[in-house]
Structure 1
């Protein structure tokens, strides 16, 4: 354990695997970072500026993209700096902050994806009674869902970080690129209270939302199958992008849960997957598949070409 000026520092050992390709990875990740910020901010701007996009589905989508902007802003600068540095170290307090941001926003994404699936489900249920949808998905309901999607994960992760802070470190080298679940490997002994709370948090912030999403989309598919061909086609067009994002996101989160049991090579590849393509997945898939957003994007680019 390195202790200078009463500050505990942790060495990030995942960068050793980059070897002589550091500059190549830096260029790729810097490009992905800039594109992610630009794509997400552009779509959030369009949703905020156009009244016809102020629907619950678009609002939840804007919140999902906002999470991505905050996540990338919090994680990428340190990541990019470490790629070019000879020594990759981070203070324990900053490491805990990374840990908090990473899992809070990941859990928030699950809640927002659940909200989007619930919105789609209510839309399909209200097809025969169109006036029923506005009474269910009111502005107050949407606002409450957004607040819960951010506050519940933040509250639970605050408790988890408090329990982690009280754990004693016996190692100062973390075999990862940033402070995630691998942090548990540094503890002298496992905490029963932390283990129980993390299991409950996993159920509450990941598995329950995942099961809820699967339930709602199963119901939608059953209802669309019983309806006409046009309804089935519309259901496939609206549900498919959501399911693609959900599968990719759930796979990466599932990997993170079992990270302690996996080898470093797989850790290296999966971490790069998480930072390379997933940040661009939401704006590209949803931005192109949501017709109203796609229309405004085309107009924006056409105006940019004229100017």
Structure 2
């Protein structure tokens, strides 16, 4: 008979390989990725807030996406980096619950935000005359709030379905964070209900947001096909390219992770896949928008020019 989770105080994380050389390489790699993620996403948020011509629905959602990416990767990466060279990687029951909740919740929020950004693309390209009405400030804020509330509720439902289970010792999680599958394996009670709830939540959130994205781009493609000018066609394509790349990376890595885990792959491989969608994707999102978006690149150039002019302006002050 398993003991109730309320009786439990600690879990033990196994983390990555015990080979010191490999651990040093992985530590430096993931530390660099985390700092780059923070730097790129914070820079995007600050840039969008500073530049008035970026105060549009698309960049409003991008600002929120960068914020969510920071929270998403911060739910697992700092803890993982701190645990790299510890003998015993102990995490409290409350800490495990919080980590799982924020990781799932921010992942779901990102799904909803990507769907909102797809709808924004649809409104801008398919209905340009009604764009200001369809994407008014009130509607944009409402969509963003819906994304956060939806993410919070998804995290709450999935977390509750896992941590009501009975866990039997030894409470060793063969992972570097409190992920779904390793936690289910530790349970000594039936996990059927939890698996049903989690599968339903993933399908509902991922399926709904993916459907909105597909329908939005169906209309976008139909509108673009009517454009006879090559310049106009390329302009609309470039507008959508960054978002489409982000969507493919996010959903593609999530689907690959699910299929990879279900094939009975090794735990070391699962950890690396988890690290990719938990740490690398949030970094890539900001880089993709920074390098592929013309308005972002122009804003960065203007900011650099201002910084160059500041010393000469200071010298003129009597």
1:271 aligns with 2:268: no
TM-score by length of 2: 0.87
Asked if 1 retains the 8 angstrom alpha-carbon contact of 2:113 and 2:144, the reply is yes
Q: What do residues 153-192 of structure 1 show as CA deviations (whole Å, max 9, x unaligned)?
A: 2113212222222100124121211111222111113333
How many matched pairs?
303
Q: Is the CA contact (8 Å cut-off) linking 2:167 and 2:188 kept in structure 1? A: yes
Number of the residue aligned with 2:73: 72
Q: Tell me the secondary structure at the aligned position of residue 143 of structure 1.
A: helix
> 1:275: how far off?
4.7
Q: Matched residues in 2 for 1:32 and 1:214: separation?
A: 31
Structure-2 separation of matches of 1:237 and 1:190: 50
* Residues 26, 84 of structure 1: 8 Å contact kept: no
Bigger Cα displacement from structure 2, 201-210 vs 61-70: 201-210
What root-mean-square deviation, in Å, do the aligned CA atoms of Structure 1 and Structure 2 show? 2.4
Partner of 1:117: 118
Deviates more, 1:203-212 or 1:51-60: 203-212
Q: Is the 8 A contact 1:17 1:268 kept in 2?
A: no
Superposed displacement of residue 18, structure 1: 5.5
The residue that corresponds to 2:94 in the other structure is 93
Cα offsets for 1:250-269 (capped at 9, x unmatched): 12222443435432232133
> Which of the numbers 113, 137, 140 marks the counterpart of 1:139?
137
8 Å CA contact retained: 1:221, 1:235: no
Task: Compare CA radii of gyration and give the structure with the larger one.
Answer: 2
* Structure 1 unaligned residues grouped into runs of 5+: none
Matches within 5 A, 1:173-192: 173-182=172-181, 183-192=183-192
Kindly report which structure 2 residues correspond to 1:210-221, keeping only aligned pairs within 5 A, or say none: 210-221=210-221
Deviates more, 1:40-49 or 1:67-76: 67-76
| Residues 3-61 of structure 1 deviation map (CA, whole Å, 9 limit, x = unaligned) | xxx65222212323665311121111111111211111111011112222111100000
1:47·1:53 contact (CA, 8 Å) conserved in 2? yes
- Tell me which of 144, 166, 169 is aligned to 1:168: 166
Q: Return 268-277 or 94-103, whichever deviates more.
A: 268-277
- Verify the 8 A CA contact 1:123 1:133 in the aligned structure 2: yes
TM-score, normalised to structure 1's length? 0.90
Partner of 1:209: 209
Does structure 1 retain, via aligned residues, the 8 Å contact 2:108–2:154?
Answer: no
**Pair 1:253 & 2:251 matched:** no
> Structure 2, unaligned stretches of length 5 or more?
312-318
Distance 1:256 1:17, change over 3 A: farther
Change (3 A) 1:274 1:199: closer
SS in 2 for 1:95: helix
